[in-house]
């Protein structure tokens, strides 16, 4: 009779498997010098595992193994005598005293010799003290549990990773450990395993614990088959036993797959695995599965449905567009009834501009193009036609018309009429022969024609126009978008403030307001407006100060560059003032005419752009300072006096710049 006596390795492994249950008893313990004969079994206390002799597949040899007790046969998780099996049923399992001495150690010595199955809590790695290597090796075949060609082990050289070897050839790898998983493992929700990687002085190992520890499910396991793969059938079985599982697939990039990937509920991450050409098995009702097997899907109904849906969508879009146009027309019609300005027919405006000819186009901004026109009586007009994509909507259009219609001042542009026929939004202004201020002061050739008297006249005129808006008109009006391109010049170079689309009017004693929609142009807006959305008459004073410095220097604030620093025009002017080098700001020809007056105007500009609004003068004080010889206070540092490097060329006055818009600002440069 051939007898098989197991050693300490068998005992330590048995002890862990049989101690999974928290309720241990003598039933699941094989005591000293006791035996188990072929045909007898030992069952763990919780009935999860069973120990005994078995013959795998069609083999006639007998092996000592452990298998799941609660599920079908053929689910062996460990084999003791893989290389030395008895050839008949006369084998006996005995435990000697040497094995018992190991029983007093912790269960960390268990699972020291894994087989083809890794259970929850089993280690993969090395024990340098005891010279152990915990590896996961396949069977030679389904009938032979002896070590096969495939070995799953931890590579501890460099970044730790899991490697699958076929004999001496590397088959697959998991990628390096990234803190909670191996980089090559897919992210699956909900998490099935809790992964850990332990690096100590004595041991380096990877261990995985099943998250679902409910007693009514089999212990989680991973099987390395004789061909080096993890069984797809096990993935299918695992998915079918969970009602939340919607699909499963292989995780290996090689053919036939090499791992298990389960999806739960919505298939949100399947596109991450399309490049590998792997199959995904989607769970669906049996009726749908049977139907798909019987016949192929006819694409014609889907094509018809797509065409119908496209047609319906087009009709709905057309209806909404028409409805929007009608609503806009209705709002404009009701607006017309309250206005006293002349209402121009669209045909008349089109004839005046040669049907909005490109030759008549004199400028364009974020609102749309501006055309030169000639009425039947010979009067020249400027036609501002708002485009469909204009940042100036119907409310801004109505605001501009209603405000300008009530304003009468020699330094404000005159609105002659408007047109709202066929949903158009057109404003008709008096024509300014010399176009806008920016085309004059920023042009290298035209700026040479400007003497100090003309520049001073422009500055003083803009100041008086703002004073009228802030103090002398029926309503206190804040322009909010004062800049060089919004100041027009008539044939005598008199300045006229234009573009009131962003203006706000106040009644009574109100002097400031808040807004969540900041509009204006970068470089002209004060800090309190850009940062906090607070605007007041001092906001226009700040814009005026920027404009004054641009007029005197002929430089743009935002586009200003200096080889010695990164300050913008405001910062450079303040630096020159403090260093008493104001002559560096101005052309020598201008200084020859009236140096004291030029320096005084620069100082007024710096007082107007001080950071805090309470430090800035109001427009009545500005007009007084411009027209008297009173001593001026020393300006504090301006707001926004640093600037980033700009690499783009300055825009030409004849070429529009695109508008930019975000939550804090709308930038529009509109040369005319």
The predicted-structure confidence for 360-390, as pLDDT tens digits, reads as follows: 998 886 678 999 999 999 999 999 998 776 6
Is the separation of the CB atoms in 62 and 88 below 8 Å?
yes
Which pair of tokens denotes residue 511?
A: 């002097």
Local structure of 447: helix, strand or coil:
helix
Is the separation of the CB atoms in 572 and 563 below 8 Å?
no
pLDDT for 448 = 80
Furthest C-alpha separation in the chain: 130
Q: For residue 510, what pLDDT band results from cuts at 50, 70 and 90?
A: low
The tens digit of pLDDT for each residue in 209-262 reads 776 655 444 445 666 666 655 555 677 777 887 777 888 775 543 444 455 666
Is the pLDDT at 207 greater than 60? The verdict is yes
Is the separation of the CB atoms in 373 and 415 below 8 Å?
no
Q: For residue 266, what pLDDT band results from cuts at 50, 70 and 90?
A: low
The tens digit of pLDDT for each residue in 514-542 reads 776 677 888 999 999 988 889 999 999 99
pTM (predicted TM-score): 0.49
pLDDT for 632 = 93
Pick from 106-110, 438-442, 539-543: least confident = 106-110
Region 313-332 average pLDDT: 72
N residues, the chain: 672
* Average per-residue pLDDT for the chain: 76
Give CA–CA dist 136/113, Å, rounded.
Answer: 9
Is the separation of the CB atoms in 64 and 93 below 8 Å?
yes
The tens digit of pLDDT for each residue in 163-177 reads 888 888 888 877 767
pLDDT for 219 = 46
pLDDT for 301 = 83
Is the pLDDT at 662 greater than 60? The verdict is no
Mark whether 481 is an active-site residue: yes
Question: Which of the pair, 504 or 633, is modelled with greater confidence?
Answer: 633
Active-site residue (options: 127, 438, 481, 499): 481
- Minimal CA–CA distance to 28: which of 9, 12, 15? 15
R_g of the chain computed on alpha carbons: 43
């Amino acid at each position: 009779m051939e007898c098989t006596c197991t050693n300490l390795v068998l005992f330590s492994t048995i002890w862990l498997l049989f101690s999974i249950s928290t309720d241990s008893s003598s039933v699941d313990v094989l005591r000293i010098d006791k035996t188990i004969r072929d045909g007898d079994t030992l069952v763990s206390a919780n009935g999860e595992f069973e120990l005994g002799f078995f013959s795998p597949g069609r083999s006639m040899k007998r092996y000592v193994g452990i298998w799941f007790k609660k599920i079908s046969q053929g689910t062996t998780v460990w084999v003791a005598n893989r290389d030395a099996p008895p050839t008949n049923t006369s084998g006996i399992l005995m435990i000697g005293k040497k094995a018992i001495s190991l029983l007093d150690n912790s269960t960390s010595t268990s699972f020291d010799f894994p087989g083809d199955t890794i259970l929850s809590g089993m280690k993969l790695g090395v024990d340098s003290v005891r010279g152990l290597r915990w590896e996961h090796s396949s069977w030679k075949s389904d009938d032979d549990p002896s070590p096969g060609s495939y070995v799953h082990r931890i590579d501890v050289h460099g970044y730790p990773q899991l490697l699958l070897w076929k004999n001496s050839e590397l088959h697959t790898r998991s990628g390096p450990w990234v803190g909670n998983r191996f980089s090559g493992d897919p992210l699956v929700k909900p998490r099935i395993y809790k992964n850990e990687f332990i690096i100590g002085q004595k041991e380096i190992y990877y261990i995985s614990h099943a998250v679902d520890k409910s007693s009514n499910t089999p212990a989680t396991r991973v099987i390395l088959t004789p061909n080096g793969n993890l069984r797809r059938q096990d993935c299918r079985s695992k998915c079918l036993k969970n009602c939340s599982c919607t699909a499963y697939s292989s995780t290996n990039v090689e053919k036939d797959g090499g791992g298990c990937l389960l999806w739960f509920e919505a298939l949100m991450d399947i596109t991450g695995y399309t490049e590998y050409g792997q199959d995904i098995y989607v769970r669906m009702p049996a009726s749908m599965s049977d139907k798909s097997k019987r016949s192929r899907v006819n694409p014609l109904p889907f094509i018809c449905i797509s065409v119908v849906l496209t047609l319906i969508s087009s009709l709905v879009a057309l209806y909404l567009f028409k409805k929007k146009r009608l609503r806009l027309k209705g709002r404009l019609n009701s607006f017309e009834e309250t206005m006293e300005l002349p209402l121009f027919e669209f045909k008349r405006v089109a004839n005046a501009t040669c049907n909005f000819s490109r030759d008549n186009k004199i400028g364009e901004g974020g609102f749309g193009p501006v055309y030169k026109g000639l009425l039947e009586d010979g009067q020249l007009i400027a036609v501002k036609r708002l485009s469909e994509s204009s940042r100036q909507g119907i409310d801004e259009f109505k605001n501009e018309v209603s405000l300008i219609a009530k304003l009468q001042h020699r330094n404000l542009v005159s609105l002659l009429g408007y047109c709202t026929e066929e949903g158009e939004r057109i404003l008709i202004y008096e024509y300014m022969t010399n176009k806008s201020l920016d085309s004059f002061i920023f042009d290298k050739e035209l700026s040479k024609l400007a003497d100090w008297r003309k520049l001073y006249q422009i500055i003083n005129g803009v100041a008086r126009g703002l004073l009228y808006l802030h103090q002398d008109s029926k309503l206190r009006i804040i322009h909010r978008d004062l800049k060089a391109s919004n100041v027009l010049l008539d044939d005598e170079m008199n300045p006229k403030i234009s573009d009131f689309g962003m203006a706000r009017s106040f009644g009574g004693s109100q002097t400031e307001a808040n807004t969540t929609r900041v509009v204006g142009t970068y470089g002209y807006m004060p800090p309190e407006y850009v940062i906090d959305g607070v605007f007041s008459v001092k906001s226009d004073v700040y814009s005026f100060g920027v404009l004054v410095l641009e007029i005197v220097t002929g430089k743009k604030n935002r586009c200003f560059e200096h080889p010695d620093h990164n300050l913008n025009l405001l910062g450079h002017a303040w630096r020159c003032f403090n260093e008493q080098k104001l002559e560096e700001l101005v052309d020598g020809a201008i200084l020859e005419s009236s140096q004291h007056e030029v320096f005084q105007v620069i100082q007024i500009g710096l007082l107007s752009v001080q950071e805090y609004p309470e430090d800035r003068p109001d427009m009545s004080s500005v007009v007084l300072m411009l027209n008297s010889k009173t001593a001026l206070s020393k300006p504090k540092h301006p707001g926004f006096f640093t600037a980033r490097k700009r690499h783009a060329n300055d825009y030409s006055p004849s070429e529009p710049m695109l508008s930019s818009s975000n939550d804090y600002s709308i930038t529009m440069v509109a040369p005319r």
